[in-house]
Amino acid sequence: MSNLFVGRLRNIFTGTRLGHLRFFSQSQVTQADLKNWPDWRMLKDHNKRMCLKEFGRERILINTIRKCDILPREIREIADKEIVALPRNSNYIRLVKRCCITSRPRGVVTRWRLSRIVFRHLVDYNKLSGVMRGIW
């Protein structure tokens, strides 16, 4: 019954599977891996976002089945086992808002994904369209 359940879930999701992604810990990151990222934290954040993109919808669907009181107990137990099999990084709670340029986790202006320091610098030199510097 579990394989039938998983098969039907997989048919619902038509997103691409990103099997070529590698998930790094801090000790496994080399300099070649960091060429596009400010530091290893940003690379880790990127990998979390890709994992969420791949498994996020599936996790939400299975979680909905787990918490539904109308369904029989056996189906909810199967959903419990399926949610444990998914990677932890597929949970949206594990994402941290970071600045795209400096990888700073605090003071991030959400709309632009920039820290307040970088945001202010770009606004001062008129690099962000549609944003004016507050002068009073």
Question: Is 114 in a helix, a strand, or coil?
Answer: strand
What's the pLDDT at 14? 37
What's the pLDDT at 127? 85
φ, ψ for residue 109 (rounded to 5)? Answer: -80, 110
What's the pLDDT at 125? 86
Question: Is 74 in a helix, a strand, or coil?
Answer: helix
pTM over 0.85: no
What's the pLDDT at 136? 62
Residue in 110, 94, 98, 103 with CA at minimum distance from that of residue 48: 94
What's the pLDDT at 39? 83
What's the pLDDT at 31? 63
98: Cβ contacts below 8 Å, ≥ 6 apart? 41, 42, 45, 104, 105, 108, 113
The pLDDT profile of the chain, 136 residues, written as one tens digit per residue, is 445 444 444 444 333 333 333 444 445 556 666 677 788 888 888 899 999 999 999 999 999 999 999 999 999 999 999 999 999 999 999 999 999 888 899 999 988 889 999 999 888 888 888 887 777 6
Q: Residue 134 corresponds to which tokens in the numbers above?
A: 């507050």
What's the pLDDT at 43? 87
